[in-house]
Amino acid sequence: MLASPRCGARTRSGGSCRSPAVRGKRRCRMHGGAPGSGARTGNQNARTHGLFTSDAIAERNQIQAVLGDAWKWLQTMK
């Protein structure tokens, strides 16, 4: 037990967590090594607001292109 790898998390006081890490992971069961903990595959948690949908990304790219064209046009007016 004492020779097992330790959790890499930091405590509030700044020290390291002294609990053993879960087998195959770098954290203990309290800091994210438990089964089912963490973000889903592909970080689906970040997609709940629609900011990273293909439509939103395409719209932002289109706006950037229009703004770039407007900036170039303004530069030629000087």
pLDDT for the residue 53: 85
Q: How many CA atoms lie within 13 A of 49 on its CB side?
A: 2
The rounded distance, in Å, linking the Cα atoms of 25 and 11 is: 18
Look up the pTM and report it: 0.43
pLDDT for the residue 39: 64
pLDDT for the residue 72: 95
pLDDT for the residue 35: 81
Q: Model confidence over 11-65: pLDDT tens digits? A: 889 888 999 998 888 888 888 878 877 666 676 666 677 888 899 999 999 999 9
Domain ranges of the chain: 1-38, 48-77
